[in-house]
Amino acid sequence: MSSKLQAPRGTFDVLPADAPARQTVEDASKRILEAAGYRRIETPAFESTELFARGVGEATDIVQKEMFSFEGFSLRPEGTAPVCRAYLDHGMHKLPQPVKLWYLGPYFRHERPQAGRYRQFWQVGAEAIGSDDPSVDAEIIVLLQALLDELGARELRLRIASLGTPASRAGYREVLQAYLREHAGELSAETRERIDLNPLRAFDAKDPGTQRVMDDAPRLADHLDDDDREHFAQVTDLLARAGVEWEHDDRLVRGLDYYTRTIFEFTSDALGAQSGVGGGGRYDGLMEQLGGPATPGCGFAAGVERMLLASEARPQPAASCDLFLAWESSERADAFALATEARRAGLAAQLDLAGRSIKGQMKQADRTGARYVAILYPDGTVLRDMDSGQEEKVERPGVVAGVLKGRHAL
């Protein structure tokens, strides 16, 4: 016998028992985002590798180590660069701005698998493109908070910061690089190697020596220009007005290079090491990186699996079955026709598909939670009300009408 094949490491099957909880995430996302005027968009599962190299950034771990790439294409590691590409491709600048879009689908990162970290995972995200108003940033954060609340995510913390504009950040970058070089001997090798390419990542280092150095490092918040500071103040004021609690964390580091000004992250203390539930921010330079005209934007993405892990498991209502058709072997074709008629009439109907005895079929009907069972004998038909246990003889053409009437009477 050949060896048994398994799903690739870091992937998972969504089994029927898992589907209702995931459906809840989709339903809540749709309700909350569409009520705020966001409309659904889906982009392909793979794009040109260059989109992510330019959009997410050459220097990021995502682009350097975590993409599944083949023949100039990559499985998408995130959704913001693809949505911006679609905005440019379809001339959405002609629509009233900001264009508000949401998405839900699978994403791929070649990371080391562990609890809550997968190589194929799902994200729900929203992007508002075409306005740099602080109310956009606040709305994006409020909507993610609403989604997490709706799903019952526990022990949430929201951290936010401003990265400033590329100009104010460039000045700060030099100050930070000079500081890191001064302390090069106390840093981890990895941080030292990143001084030129990505000095901000030093704030994210796990190594205690580097962390000690970073405690006294110059802070970006002290190097923002007046416009950046004002923008950030307005975002946080709006959040306060919406009753959202947040912590200012100027050590917050995001793994993507497109951010300008507002960045934020929701974590759940109910999760282990992979505590990031969702995050995002503003990306006013991204469209130009992709070859489009300067167009501001802001958005979030949240991991579906992480949100479910952070949420209290809620009992899911069992799928309903209005009518189960049980039949003796000569009656199969009639049972099949009745099931089809019932479905066309809008009933949830099932019939035995395994040639069971009538007794076995009644057990199966019970397992499906059927409200009514029609038993088709060669010499007649019985309709059984599974709640009361009452049975009556009926004419076959009247079975569907009988169940519909019974359902209305409820």
Tokens of 326: 């049980």
Binding flags for ligand HAM, 25-64, as an x/- string (CB under 6 A): ----------------------------------------
The pairing of strands 39-40 and 99-108 is parallel
Distances from the Cα of 297 to the Cα of 38, 78, 93, 135, 220, angstroms: 14, 16, 12, 12, 21
**Residue 194 backbone dihedrals phi, psi, to 5 degrees:** -95, 0
3-class DSSP state for residue 338?
helix
301 within 8 A of 124, measured Cβ to Cβ: yes
Task: Give the residue at shortest CB distance from ligand HAM.
Answer: 303
Burial class (CB in 10 A: 0-12, 13-18, 19+), 188: middle
Q: Which residue has the tokens 């974590």?
A: 267
138 within 8 A of 242, measured Cβ to Cβ: yes
3-class DSSP state for residue 260?
strand
Binding-site member from 306, 365, 381, 402 for ligand HAM (CB under 6 A) = 306
Q: What angle do CA 256, 176, 296 make, to 5 degrees?
A: 35
Q: Which is nearer to ligand HAM, 271 or 339 (CB)?
A: 271
**Binding span for ligand HAM by CB under 6 A among 26-34, 276-284, 334-342, 367-375:** 276-284
Q: Based on the shown chain and the rule CB under 6 A, indicate whether residue 264 belongs to the binding site for ligand HAM.
A: no
Binding-site member from 82, 280, 285, 402 for ligand HAM (CB under 6 A) = 280
Binding positions for ligand HAM, 363-382, rule CB under 6 A: none
Binding-site member from 123, 311, 364, 381 for ligand HAM (CB under 6 A) = 123
**Binding span for ligand HAM by CB under 6 A among 75-83, 195-203, 229-237, 397-405:** 75-83
d(CA 372, CA 362): 11
Tell me the closest approach of the beta carbon of residue 281 to ligand HAM, in angstroms. Answer: 6
**Binding span for ligand HAM by CB under 6 A among 28-36, 109-117, 172-180, 337-345:** 109-117
Q: Based on the shown chain and the rule CB under 6 A, indicate whether residue 127 belongs to the binding site for ligand HAM.
A: yes
**Binding span for ligand HAM by CB under 6 A among 226-234, 236-244, 279-287, 368-376:** 279-287
Residues that bind ligand HAM (CB under 6 A): 78-80, 109, 111, 117-118, 121, 123, 125, 127, 255-256, 276-281, 283, 299-303, 305-306
